Amino acid sequence: MHTRQVTYQHTIEYKVVTTSNLLQPQNWALLSAGRIEDARRFVVVDGNVAKHYSNEIRKYFEYHHVEAKIVTFPGGEENKTIDHFTALVRELDSFPIHRRDEPIIAIGGGVLTDVVGFVASSYRRGVPHIKVPTTLMGYVDASIGIKTGINFNGNKNRLGAFHAPQMVLLDKAFLKTLPKRHILNGVCEIIKLAIIKDAELFKLLEAQGAKSVESHFQDEPGSTLLDRAIEGMLEELQPNLFEEDLARKVDFGHTFSYGLETKHEAHLFHGEAVLLDILVSTLIAKARNLLSSEETNRIFHLIEGLGFTLDTSVLDPELLWNSLEERTYHRNGLQRVPMPRGIGNCVFLNDINAGEIESAVKNLEDWINVKHEII
Ligand SMILES: NC(=O)c1ccc[n+]([C@@H]2O[C@H](COP(=O)([O-])OP(=O)(O)OC[C@H]3O[C@@H](n4cnc5c(N)ncnc54)[C@H](O)[C@@H]3O)[C@@H](O)[C@H]2O)c1
């Protein structure tokens, strides 16, 4: 036997840039990566974003004499499919781009940036891409990491790749046209971060969250909230970009939600499933004295104050238990469930049992139906 060891290190570097007036021709951000002389860009735009911005996008590239092929893509989880993936690859193949310095530009929500990111990861073994999130979920979460993917065979993100963008461009003005339910959907990821790692962010949400939701984060406190959430998210993602460490704080709210989200008749958005998970987890943490009554009440009052309506009819303890088992398998045999220890701190649990889940669901139903304080 003869073994030859091959070792190669590859540095991942990308910029997450906050900007405004992204589509004004004077703003160079969209063309700041890649060639601009005699250049082409393949641009994929979410269908609902195109309704508002297609003229501006077209004019932007015309102004800079960049030949752009602009393709619209329908948002929504049901479109995160292999058929849409191959349709995009066909479009791309009919508009050859230089594989090194003409990055694909993805303008849309988490579904679009996940699918386009996967196209970029696999087309000609990998081409650069730029992500421009237009939903809050994309802004604070989906666009700023390196995970791409599509759903397959009834499973979420079953096909995908870790593929870093060349750049992420954040312009919160896109959120102005986002429906309220999708604003709240993204807020769930901010709440997650606040509870599990950032007590200051939690206080900001308590003080300003409702107003920021109302203004679609166009107000000044809204910018502070967004900046802090992104900082926190990147702090967690950066040292563990490829998820070699399976105990991840950012998985708070992402254990029981997996089952809730994939249960077809529920039609919950990702963040909505995460929020239900957060509340069940909060009650498990309370029962274990990881959270005090006061802290637990603060969490519930924050959710109430932000204007969420909760539907507990989907909370079947058996489904949640099965989801935990599935995630345990995904996390290589240990539960590794992040749980709050006080607001802003985290501990990982490996011994949650079915009885605890059942009690937490019962308590959550009681809280929603009777609206009492947690004691
Ligand atoms: N890669 C990651 O790390 C990561 C992280 C979190 C979530 N995700 C994925 O993100 C997806 C959810 O993303 P999402 O919530 O953005 O969903 P989405 O992309 O489907 O967008 C939600 C809806 O908003 C519309 N829309 C988008 N921008 C708009 C705008 N500015 N104005 C009006 N309408 C607009 C879309 O057309 C769609 O109907 C899930 O598939 C989830 O798995 C990925």
Query: pLDDT tens, 102-128?
Result: 999 999 999 999 999 999 999 999 999
Cβ(134) – ligand 1 distance below 6 Å = yes
Q: Which atom of ligand 1 lies at the shortest distance from residue 177's CA?
A: 32
Where does CATH 3.40.50.1970 sit in the chain? 15-176
Provide mean pLDDT across the span 44-72.
97
Q: Which atom of ligand 1 lies at the shortest distance from residue 74's CA?
A: 37
* CA nearest ligand 1 atom 10, residue: 110
Would you state the structure tokens that stand for residue 327, as one six-digit string?
A: 């995630």
Please tell me the distance from the alpha carbon of residue 337 to that of residue 286, in angstroms, as a whole number.
15
Is the pLDDT score of 374 beyond 80?
no
What's the 139 CA to ligand 1 centre distance in angstroms?
Answer: 9
User: How many degrees, rounded to 5, is the angle at CA 333 between CA 80 and CA 320?
Assistant: 60
pLDDT at 366: 86
What's the 334 CA to ligand 1 centre distance in angstroms?
Answer: 30
Q: Look over the chain and give the mean of its residue pLDDT values, rounded to a whole number.
A: 95
Please tell me the distance from the alpha carbon of residue 113 to that of residue 212, in angstroms, as a whole number.
25
Query: pLDDT tens, 150-194?
Result: 999 988 899 999 999 999 999 999 999 999 999 999 999 999 999
Contact by Cβ (8 Å): 67, 39: yes
What's the 75 CA to ligand 1 centre distance in angstroms?
Answer: 7
Is the pLDDT score of 371 beyond 70?
no
**Is residue 303 classed exposed, middle or buried when 0-12, 13-18 and 19+ CB atoms within 10 A define those classes?**
buried
Query: pLDDT tens, 325-350?
Result: 999 999 999 999 999 999 999 999 99
pTM of the model: 0.96
Crossing angle of helices 220-237 and 199-214, in 10° steps, is: 140
CA 111, 117, 120, 125 torsion-angle sign? negative
Provide mean pLDDT across the span 304-313.
88
Please tell me the distance from the alpha carbon of residue 176 to that of residue 174, in angstroms, as a whole number.
5
Crossing angle of helices 199-214 and 293-305, in 10° steps, is: 20
pLDDT at 154: 86
Would you state the structure tokens that stand for residue 190, as one six-digit string?
A: 């901010």
Quickly count: other Cβ atoms within 10 Å of residue 219's Cβ. Answer: 14
Tell me whether residue 362 is one of the annotated catalytic residues: no
pLDDT at 108: 98
pLDDT at 310: 84
Query: pLDDT tens, 223-268?
Result: 999 999 999 999 999 999 999 999 999 999 999 999 998 876 668 9
Where does CATH 1.20.1090.10 sit in the chain? 191-370
Question: Quick one: which of 253, 278, 263, 369 has its CA closest to 318?
Answer: 263
* Architecture of the domain made up of 15-176: 3-Layer(aba) Sandwich (3.40)
Query: pLDDT tens, 271-288?
Result: 999 999 999 999 999 999
Banded pLDDT at 372 (limits 50, 70, 90): low
Q: Does domain 191-370 match CATH 3.40.50.261?
A: no
Cβ(216) – ligand 1 distance below 6 Å = no
User: How many degrees, rounded to 5, is the angle at CA 46 between CA 260 and CA 62?
Assistant: 160
Banded pLDDT at 370 (limits 50, 70, 90): confident
Cβ(270) – ligand 1 distance below 6 Å = yes
What's the 46 CA to ligand 1 centre distance in angstroms?
Answer: 9
Provide mean pLDDT across the span 349-373.
88
3-state secondary structure of 342: coil
Cβ(142) – ligand 1 distance below 6 Å = yes
Of 147, 192, 249, 286, which residue is the catalytic one?
147
